[in-house]
């Protein structure tokens, strides 16, 4: 028992020598992440409580976004804790921890295009909306998105194990900079990032313009069209926030080589909060609270239904 306590004490002292502000940083970012994980959990629970939420393509895609962003947030926190604490992990585990957030990030990006297309069909083809966006087709589209999102990570893993099959403990940070160091990984990353963001950006801009035209010319259902236009605009802003997170890797590559460990940790902490955590926490909350039917039920469950009457479902607009 004494040896175990000595080991814990030595580990704590080592961490504090590397980054004396590590406890303060942990206090600043861990509680907010836990709070937003709880918020997302309540949202997912709310989506399971109404049949209309489970069968409507709009809410299915919203729930999919919640699941992906929640898992992505959790994986990002885990990766950051490993990095800032210098916890030694096996190389195979590190590869999995790096591949999972990449897949989730790309699936989340592609899911924005599905959400925009769903609103496009609802506004531009209202009579065919129920036939086009069926429960089965919505889940098939989500399956296709996951297949596309897995391509880059699977390619990187195949290349990695073709070159290095050892499974030793890593002495450096578990990051793409230290694991995927060959030029082929950078080329793959640039190629897939450009393809994904250009494609999704095209879909969102196309749907926004189409919905804007309908909102301007249609004599009826203008309110729904305007709400849909604002929703698609939010998708474009969210895509912009997602693209900003790409610069984290660029910044990491530069400062990892040219600065000391302390500066590297401080800069990566700021980038982690600003470009990764903040967008993942903000976007589900915005989408959830914009929908009248969902937000009223969400607030009911979030407050544990204390002193409130359970709201009646009235269809809203995300």
Contact 148, 139 (CB under 8 A): no
Contact 310, 300 (CB under 8 A): yes
Determine the pLDDT at residue 13. 43
Which strand (E) or helix (H) includes residue 294?
A: helix 292-302
Cα-based distances in Å from 88 to 11, 37, 84, 258, 279 = 11, 26, 11, 23, 29
Average pLDDT over residues 92-119: 87
- Burial (Cβ within 10 Å: 0-12, 13-18, ≥19) of residue 292: middle
Q: For residue 71, give the 3-state DSSP assignment.
A: helix
Q: Is the pLDDT higher at 142 or at 215?
A: 142
Of the chain, the end-to-end C-alpha distance in Å amounts to 56
Average pLDDT over residues 68-96: 78
Tell me the pLDDT tens digit for each residue of 131-176. 999 999 999 999 999 999 999 999 988 888 888 665 555 556 677 7
Determine the pLDDT at residue 8. 36
Domain ranges of the chain: 21-172+180-302
pTM, to two decimals: 0.80
**CATH number belonging to the domain at 21-172+180-302, selected among 3.30.360.10, 3.40.30.10, 3.30.450.20, 1.20.1070.10:** 1.20.1070.10
* Residue 190 CA neighbour count, 13 Å, CB half: 6
Contact 246, 275 (CB under 8 A): no
pLDDT at 122 over 70: yes
Determine the pLDDT at residue 292. 79
Determine the pLDDT at residue 114. 92
Find the largest Cα–Cα distance for the chain: 79
């Amino acid at each position: 028992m004494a040896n175990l306590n000595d080991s814990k004490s030595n580990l704590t002292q080592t961490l504090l020598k590397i980054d004396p502000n590590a406890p303060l940083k942990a206090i600043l970012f861990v509680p907010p992440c836990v709070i937003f994980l709880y918020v997302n959990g309540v949202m997912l629970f709310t989506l399971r409580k109404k049949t209309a939420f489970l069968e409507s393509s709009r809410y299915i895609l919203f729930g999919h976004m919640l699941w992906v962003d929640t898992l992505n947030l959790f994986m990002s926190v885990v990766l950051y804790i490993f990095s800032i604490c210098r916890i030694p992990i096996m190389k195979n585990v590190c590869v999995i921890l790096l591949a999972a957030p990449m897949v989730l990030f790309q699936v989340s990006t592609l899911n924005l295009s599905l959400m925009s297309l769903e609103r496009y069909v609802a506004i531009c083809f209202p009579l065919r909306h129920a036939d086009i966006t069926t429960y089965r087709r919505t889940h098939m589209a989500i399956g296709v998105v996951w297949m596309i999102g897995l391509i880059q990570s699977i390619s990187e893993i195949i290349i990695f194990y073709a070159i290095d099959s050892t499974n030793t403990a890593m002495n450096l940070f578990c990051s793409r900079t230290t694991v995927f160091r060959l030029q082929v990984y950078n080329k793959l990353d640039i190629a897939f990032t450009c393809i994904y963001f250009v494609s999704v950006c095209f879909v969102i801009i196309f749907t926004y313009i189409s919905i804007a035209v309908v909102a301007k010319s249609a004599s009826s259902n203008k309110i729904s069209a305007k709400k849909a236009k604002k929703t698609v605009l939010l998708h474009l802003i969210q895509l912009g926030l997602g693209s900003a997170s790409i610069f984290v890797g660029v910044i990491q590559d530069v400062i990892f080589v040219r600065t000391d460990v302390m500066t590297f940790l401080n800069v990566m902490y700021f980038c982690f909060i600003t470009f990764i955590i903040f967008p993942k926490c903000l976007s589900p909350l915005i989408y959830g609270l914009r929908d009248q039917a969902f937000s009223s039920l969400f607030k009911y469950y979030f407050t544990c239904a204390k002193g409130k009457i359970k709201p009646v479902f009235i269809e809203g607009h995300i």
